[in-house]
Amino acid sequence: MVERKMEKEINSFMIYLHNERRTSENTEMSYRRDLLKVQHFMENQGIEDVKKISATNLNSYVLYLEKNHFSAATISRNIASLKAFYHYMFREGMVREDISERLKAPRIEKKLPEILTTKEVVRLLEQPCGDTDKEIRDRAMLELLYATGIRVTELITLKVSDVNLSMGFIKCKDVTKERVIPFGGKAKSALQRYLNEARDHMINAPDSEYLFANCSGQPMSRQGFWKLIKSYAKKAGITADITPHTLRHSFAAHMVENGADLRSVQEMLGHSDISTTQIYANMCHGKLREVYAKAHPRY
């Protein structure tokens, strides 16, 4: 298949992101998805060469997104993708001018993250209470997610070697750094039971490195865990539309509410900018009124 003109520059940009910026796979997929939409739009306008795209063409694309009622967050992300793409091309001499500089992102109204009360968290975590391999695994996954505040992608890609049960911590690795996150007694007990009683029955390959497996013996998917947490939330009588990220938000908000300093929470969450963590300190205290006996209620 012949590579189309703009697609060639996009592929070159992807290689740059992967090899030099060492971005994550999710970030690269997001950039590619956004830029391929731009390519499709421009081709419908009869423009196939990236050098023939003008600032007016880019503004037309942004107007197209607005007219089709894309959210401000989506439009801002698309503009950020375009700016990164053009900055790269200008630096490499692929274009004479960075025409994306004049693009302005819409103002985004920041929404407070959805969090659960401590009682809701306890109800959720106690739903998988049976003795089946699946329930033992599910309890371990939920306990560990709330105990550490890690992302669901980090949870499902954890390896057995990333867990230190005796010292009570896990290692989370991304492309550029590694962070160590402690966990408490509840998560430790759930993990110990899963490793002792259930994991060997669930994995297909005895030499599998992954900590958690789905019911087919393969590594758990994001979609699979999303369905799992939705199911247990319903059983727990939680009416909020929660996602796996809700436990991450709840972990952070509860830790800050109970005296954890922002820098420590930032480090555990893996935020590059503390302003991202600051939102948990600014949240409405009415929703965080319940105080733990300890720094973390599941310790």
d(CA 256, CA 278): 9
- Let me know: does 184 contact 299? Beta carbons within 8 Å: yes
Query: Would you state the pLDDT for residue 55?
Result: 92
Query: What global pTM score does this model have?
Result: 0.60
Query: Would you state the pLDDT for residue 35?
Result: 94
141-153 pLDDT, tens digit each: 999 998 888 888 8
Query: Would you state the pLDDT for residue 208?
Result: 84
pLDDT beneath 70, residues of the chain: 1-4, 108-112, 174-176, 273, 275, 279-299
Query: Would you state the pLDDT for residue 135?
Result: 95
Q: b/e map of 58-84 (b: 16 or more CB within 10 Å)?
A: beebbeebeeeebeeeebbbbbbbbbb
Query: Would you state the pLDDT for residue 292?
Result: 40
